[in-house]
Chain A
Amino acid sequence: MKILVCVKQVPEPENAFIIDDSEEWIRPGTFSYRMNRFDESALEEALSIKDRYKAVGIDVISVGSENSKDVIRRAIGMGADAGIYIFHDPVGYVSPFLTASFIASYIKENNYDLIFAGAISEDSLQGQVGPLAAEMAGLPCVSFVVKQEISQDFKGIYVERELDGGLVESFELALPALLTIQGGINKPRYPSLSNVLRANRVKIRTINPDLFGKTVPMQGKLKLTIPQKRRDGHFLSGSVKEKATELIRILSQKSFIA
């Protein structure tokens, strides 16, 4: 049984993102990065399968700039067996079609029974790479999975996902299949010392995506703008106490408080 988990590094939300002069992307900066939380949950689901069935191997794959290797190493530190890194670091926006086509090409050349990806990335919230890669690789796919249970013969998987209004729908998929995982459904484990040591030693397989042939981004250029305010957006000023007093005044004027 082989599982592939797709992971992505995302910049921490507290970073300052400044639009560059071309207005097509942001200024390069020294951002702090971490693993997308949805991908952490996806990895934890894979690790939970490995905990249960010994004959399970987990590979992680990441597409992006050189420091994507950091999230691959973190994933190995958490318990994945091996890492695959697809080097793709053009300036500017990368369409999910490109990322997905690289992953799909890799999947087609390697046999995996199950592929996990985070349902969305926290920074761009597109939710596309998983379902796109599944379709390109010809695999069934269900997104936003909150619970999975693999059949004992490893031929199928039962999954549940939440819809709005407290509804839960469930499916059974034939393997191989790709599932995208909702964030926060489990408690991703911390890297263990022995795994971290191994992660530092292990060689990450690097693939040049040119090997996969020509791919089409399918999305046009972006123009970036600062979001417009949808409401007044009145910033209170002064000390903490002054802001609190002002807010009390505003809310009492509107009769929300006495």
Chain B
Amino acid sequence: MGKMNKPGQKSIFIIAEHNENKVKPFLFELASCACKIRKHCPAEIKVILLGNETEKLSSEITHTTGLDTLAIEINELALFNPEIYKKVIEDLAAEFLPSFIIAGHTPRGLDVASGLAVRMKAACITGIENLGETEGKICFRRQIFYGKIDAHVTADSEPLIITVQQGAFEPFKPENSATGKVETRRVNYVPLFTHEKGIRRSRFQDSSISEAKVIVSAGNGIGEKENLDLVNRFAAVFPGSAVGGSRIIVDRGWLEYRQQIGLTGTQVAPELYIACGISGASQHLAGMRGSGFVVAINKDPKAAIFNESDVCVVEDLKIFIPVFIEEYGKKTDP
């Protein structure tokens, strides 16, 4: 760590993402992470909000989180533009000298984090899931080797830019009802190389998966498309169930997009989640960590999903599911 300033002089930036005039609730998880950092390194937290209509959003942020918000009004910015974000946050960082900049481990967060790191000569650690302290230095935990190993990366220098894995931190609950301050500034920046071409809702959102009591989910380990039928039959055993899947299954066209669970799909929290042939990459875990009870079936005993499960079944699902259905049939229909 660099030279220690007096508490209060340091700052932590949180970059807020927003769409359709709403702040992403993920901000509360980033705020939790910021507060945890603050325990190791006293600093003021500032939520950085960029947009062309920030007033409603910034007051919502300060009211719900109690944190200070620095809103930057940019006429040229409709929603998100990596070129504008990097330039404006780089300038803010030069002024406030934040010790940490926190963004979501999302496409937008990753657009900004690494680029800013180069500009600020800062270190950058992405996809962090927790943090702690070793030998007086903050260290961040992230998955490597498909989630089979945790790496604890020490922050050797300041400033440090991090992106936070969704679902890893409990959403932030403000300690009191105090409202933070909003500071609004106006900045002009005409992008030279990257131009926004709008945002649209491509595939309709289906609420059935987010409201299902039980989700049976298929991953790469199901092997052939035909085995999806097994997963469907398995799901039929559970009242109020829905079938979901990881990104790869959806990309192959085996399931519809509305059934995709994970970082770029739907985030779900059913009472029971059954992961079939899912390895447990953090992209997927980000979408299901809030589940009540988790059962995983995977033939690889070292699969990362087992660390996130209440009950672990090391079996080939093609063999296990038919046996389960048969045994269950015997029980209910003696």
> Which A positions have Cβ atoms within 8 angstroms of B?
11, 13-14, 16-17, 19, 26, 93, 96-97, 100, 119, 122-128, 130-132, 134-136, 140-144, 158, 161-174, 177, 182-185, 218-236, 240-241, 243-245, 247-248, 250-251, 254, 256-258
Contacts and interface: CB of A to CB of B under 8 A. Distances in A.
8 contacts: A125-B281, A130-B114, A162-B107, A184-B251, A222-B151, A227-B150, A236-B314, A240-B315
Contact of A134 (B115, B214, B294): B115
A245 B325 CA distance: 10
B331 A248 contact: yes
A97 to B, nearest CB: 8
B266 to A, nearest CB: 8
A229 B307 contact: yes
Contacts of B239: 257
Contacts, number: 269
B302 to A, nearest CB: 7
Given A26-B149, A132-B117, A227-B150, A142 B82 contact: yes
A227 B156 contact: no
B150 A226 contact: yes
A247 B307 contact: no
Interface in B217-275: 237-239, 247-248, 251-252, 257-258, 263-267, 271-272
Contact of A232 (B127, B198, B266, B311): B311
Contact of B264 (A19, A163, A231): A163
Interface of B: 19-20, 79-83, 86, 105-108, 110-111, 113-115, 117-119, 122-127, 134, 137, 139, 142-157, 163, 192-205, 214, 237-239, 247-248, 251-252, 257-258, 263-267, 271-272, 279, 281-283, 289, 293-295, 300-302, 304, 306-315, 319-320, 323-324, 326-328, 331-332
A174 B143 contact: no
A224 B115 contact: no
Contacts of B119: 135
B195 to A, nearest CB: 5
A247 B144 contact: no
Contacts of B300: 13-14
Given A124-B145, A131-B114, A223-B139, A167 B251 contact: no
Nearest to B295: A247
B82 A125 contact: no
A144 to B, nearest CB: 4
A132 to B, nearest CB: 4
A149 to B, nearest CB: 11
Contacts of A171: 81, 194-197
Given A131-B114, A241-B327, A167 B248 contact: no
Contacts of B142: 126
A186 B193 CA distance: 27
Contact of B311 (A141, A158, A234): A234
Nearest to B139: A223
Contacts of A13: 146, 148, 279, 300
Nearest 9 interchain pairs by C-beta: A184-B251, A220-B156, A220-B154, A131-B114, A144-B107, A140-B193, A135-B118, A170-B197, A135-B115
A164 B286 CA distance: 11
A224 B313 contact: no
A23 B29 CA distance: 30
A126 B197 contact: no
Nearest to B107: A144
B123 A244 contact: no
A2 B91 CA distance: 34
Contacts of B289: 230
A182 B300 CA distance: 26
Contacts of B19: 163, 165, 167
A177 B328 CA distance: 56
Contacts of A17: 145, 148-149, 302
Nearest to A145: B107
Contacts of A123: 144-146
A168 B202 contact: yes
Contacts of B192: 174
Given A223-B152, A235-B313, 15 more contacts: A17-B302, A123-B145, A125-B281, A127-B105, A135-B86, A135-B117, A135-B119, A140-B193, A143-B107, A144-B264, A163-B199, A168-B199, A183-B247, A221-B154, A243-B320
A148 B111 CA distance: 17
B328 to A, nearest CB: 5
